Amino acid sequence: MNGQDLQDAFSGTSVSAWRYFDSTGSTNTEALRWAEEGAPDFSLVIADEQTSGRGRFERRWITLPGSSLAFSLILQPTSDELAKLPLFAPLCGIAVREAVNKALGLCPQIKWPNDVLLDGLKFCGILVESSWQGSLPGAVIMGIGINVNRGSVPPPELQGFPATCLETAAGRPVNRYTLLREVLLAIAEWRVQLGTPAFMQRWQEHLAFRGQRVRIENSEKPLIVGKIEGINASGQLLLTDDSGVNLTVTVGDVHLRPMNTDDPGGNNAG
């Protein structure tokens, strides 16, 4: 990535400071370290290559040079925002959706709790972490990885969920700097609306698999199969099971997968 092009992309955004790496293990790790040093609000860490990027549950998210966007944004939350920590992942999801829609005319959907899809295929993963000051959360680290060109898509055997990239979906090359700028602008726009009716409505409107049967796999609890009804104000997923019972699922060690029409029990691991 070119330093001047990055500087131009940040112009007019809320980015207060930034650090760029040709290659690093994980932008979230670098951002957590910087946050502990006192990074200002809306500081950004970005890398052209990640060799040990992390997803949820320590899944690996590898970023090859020139293929993706891999960055972590450091926010210093207000007391009001601290009460809405579960909404920072959907904040990223909404921002990425809006940016891709504006820049490329595509219509992504937000997969609860922290991925963004196109035509049911994952192109964006999100990992939100907090630094801690004693027993209280300090900075919020919002890690975002976006598959931009075809070189960013791992082989099928390494995909935890079927994947695609923006270049394939758009049918043309995608400018990473333009996309980065749009994501940053959208984060700032939707941050001030965190948890508002407009925020929740936008999330609901673009919630992946809404009205469809899915399975929720939890390492410590029985399999749940039900139809997605939406999201509540706390960011929990609302389901109706096959008996008509309403269920609420909290973000945690869970995996959401759509059900195949010929799979009544959800046994096809995805």
Domain boundaries, the chain: 3-205, 213-258
Burial class (CB in 10 A: 0-12, 13-18, 19+), 86: middle
* Residues 182 and 103: beta-carbon distance below 8 Å: yes
Tokens of 192: 């001030």
How confident is the prediction along the chain (270 residues), in pLDDT tens digits per residue? 999 999 999 999 999 999 999 999 999 999 999 999 999 999 999 999 988 765 544 455 567 789 999 999 999 999 999 999 999 999 999 999 999 999 999 999 999 999 999 999 999 999 999 987 776 778 999 999 999 999 899 888 777 789 999 999 999 999 999 999 999 999 999 999 999 999 999 999 999 999 999 999 876 778 899 999 999 999 999 999 999 999 999 887 678 999 863 343 332 222
Q: Tell me the pairing of strands 60-63 and 17-24.
A: unpaired
Report the distance separating Cα 266 and Cα 259, nearest Å.
Answer: 6
CATH topology classification for 213-258: SH3 type barrels. (2.30.30)
Superfamily (CATH) of domain 3-205: Bira Bifunctional Protein; Domain 2 (3.30.930.10)
Report the distance separating Cα 74 and Cα 58, nearest Å.
Answer: 20
